[in-house]
Chains A and B, each alone.
Chain A
Amino acid sequence: MDLTVSLGTLRLANPLIAASGCFGYGVEYAGAIDLASLGGVAVKGLFLAEREGHPPPRIVETPSGMLNAIGLQGIGVHRFIAEKLPELRRLGAVVFVNICGTTLDEYVELARILSDAEGVAALELNISCPNIKEGGITFGCSLTGTHSVVSAVRKVTRLPVIPKLTPNVTDVASFARAAEEAGADAVSLVNTFLAMAIDVETRRPRLSNIVGGLSGPAIRPIAVRMVYECRQAVRLPIIGMGGIATANDVLEFLIAGASAVQVGTANFVDPLLWGKLIDGLTGYLTRHGIERISDLTGTLDTTKREHAWISS
């Protein structure tokens, strides 16, 4: 049985990637799981400089989901390369570095720096974080912005370039198309949905940032639909995500058109879920007599069925 998947030139042992912002810098989990057993590890979003992020409260739970407004607290790219990357290499992790910029130049500079570092498998461009005011999502919410940041990064790196798309737009597929035209190697989607929750007793927002990003099982059906729409629009490999918690959820995204998936919020609940997901996927492949998991991508059957019981 073959669980390997390809994202352009990048080959992964399996389609399961830990989602950025939900897995620290990866090393936090090294005592609990074998990082090399994952398809990849997308580390917490990095700017050039260190950032403190928003004051607490940074998360609030909502029905089958959670809102977060962490504000991209982070150690910056230089400390990441010095303090975290060597350990990730030693552990055999396939590292997707998620990069964030307030300007186009910052993305380019980050891409340059990381291209010279040892042990980076791919660059995920965070153009979709809903929780910071400047940069980031302003690129991700404009077709020309998406095109310009992807093509600028493309020019300075040989690493696979994977923009992470926001669902907070009318037509996400057009953004996948812009990314493809600009030379992206893959796209990942979806980031969180902009949302808010209010304490009615105090009439105060439940997050210090007032608004935050919704993730978890609550968003999964919307994310599956968006992956499906992007699959119709582009030939690029798609990394699907949004509320994945079980092997069945992974399969939904693959069938809708994803080549690989990221798991985020569910890792908070069950940090040891990866083995269970692998078991579930191999069980499915066995049951369906499928040799390669990559053969499942985009196999949604939408042919019209004859409903004899209706016409009779």
Chain B
Amino acid sequence: MLFDIDAAVIENRRLSEDFSVLVLDAPAIAAATKPGQFVMLKPTHSSDPLLRRPFSVFEVIRNSNQTPTAISILNKRTGVGTSLLYEAERGATIGCLGPLGRPFEPVAPPAEAWMVAGGVGLAPFVTLATRLQKLGTPTTLFYGARTAAELYYTGLFEQLGVHTVLATEDGTRGTTGRVTAPLGEALSALGEQNAIKLYVCGPTPMMRAVAALAAEHRRECDVSLEQVMGCGMGGCYSCVVLTRDPGQAPHFVRSCLDGPVFNSRRIVWEALTH
């Protein structure tokens, strides 16, 4: 079920000069969202910017009766639309269309879930971790950022029973360097009989590296891709990703409908440039 809501801003938590978590009053969307799905947001009624932008649902927020009441999104200020969202104040309304897209497929025990996030790529993993906790699936989050101050919400994941492995490029918290290093070591240390599934979202080079590790260690891997998206509904054919399916030549599929979550084996990684 699809909803288009003029959602009031309940709260806009500024995490830094660039990052904020925007909480939107959208109970119907909150109730319908599955892990890894996204919403299309329009921060203004004017025609500049004209198009909506896709955002993973970060949190589904529930009241004391456990009824879903709101969603939040993790926003990084990069352009006009994301700046308007960063600056939005309580009471402003944001056009919110969703939930959209193919969700993650959470694994059940005895399999383990390993989530791999880079920067703002953390966004789809709270909904997934919440679902995995309900299933009782042992879950680890490998989470990398430039610096300690940009590793957000690690406490929230720990509350959800997630084991965290952190990395920063400047070494201010966790391992120094890319998060793919501790991930690679953990994969190498893993016994053949231990079933795990990888879930990854972050910058394209990071996802490409994780997909390569998954292939090398023969592990299932879901990737959540973000492409330039026009409509989120399958109407415009802008957000295509080159995929390879058995017995077929590589072909473009729409990441809004076939994704944003794909099995990493389907992606023609060398064609993914941004």
Name A's B-contacting residues (CB within 8 A): 21-24, 28-29, 31-32, 44, 52-53, 55-61, 63-66, 68, 70, 73, 216-217, 245, 265, 267-272
B50 lies within 8 A of A58 (CB)? no
A55 lies within 8 A of B47 (CB)? no
B2 lies within 8 A of A217 (CB)? no
A32 lies within 8 A of B2 (CB)? yes
> Interface of chain B, helix or strand or loop or mixed?
loop
Q: Which A residues are CB-close (under 8 A) to B49?
A: 61
Contact of B238 among A23, A29, A52, A68 (CB under 8 A): A68
Chain A nearest CB, measured from B239 CB (Å) = 8
B50 lies within 8 A of A65 (CB)? yes
Q: Which B residues are CB-close (under 8 A) to A31?
A: 1-2
Q: Which B residues are CB-close (under 8 A) to A64?
A: 47-48, 50
B208 within 8 A of A: no
B235 lies within 8 A of A63 (CB)? no
B230 lies within 8 A of A267 (CB)? no
Q: Which B residues are CB-close (under 8 A) to A73?
A: 237, 240, 252
Bound complex: CA A124 to CA B228 (Å): 29
Q: List 23 A-B contacts (CB under 8 A).
A: A21-B236, A31-B2, A52-B251, A53-B237, A55-B242, A56-B241, A56-B274, A58-B237, A61-B50, A63-B48, A64-B50, A66-B50, A66-B51, A66-B230, A73-B240, A216-B50, A269-B42, A269-B50, A269-B52, A270-B4, A271-B2, A271-B4, A271-B235
A216 lies within 8 A of B236 (CB)? no
A22-B236, A70-B237, A70-B238 known; A55 vs B271 contact (CB < 8 Å): yes
Bound complex: CA A117 to CA B234 (Å): 25
Contact with A along B84-103 (1 / 0, CB 8 A): 00000000000101000000
Q: Which residue of B lies closest to A216 (CB)?
A: B50
Bound complex: CA A236 to CA B251 (Å): 41
Contact with A along B62-95 (1 / 0, CB 8 A): 0000000000000000000000000000000001
Bound complex: CA A31 to CA B240 (Å): 21
Chain B nearest CB, measured from A56 CB (Å) = 6
B231 within 8 A of A: yes
A271 lies within 8 A of B231 (CB)? yes
Q: Which residue of A lies closest to B251 (CB)?
A: A52
B238 lies within 8 A of A56 (CB)? yes
Chain B nearest CB, measured from A130 CB (Å) = 16
A268 lies within 8 A of B236 (CB)? yes
Q: Which residue of A lies closest to B80 (CB)?
A: A61
- List of 9 A-B pairs having minimum Cβ-Cβ separation, nearest first: A28-B234, A268-B231, A64-B47, A59-B238, A58-B238, A24-B235, A32-B2, A24-B234, A217-B47
Within 8 A of A (CB), among B156-210: none
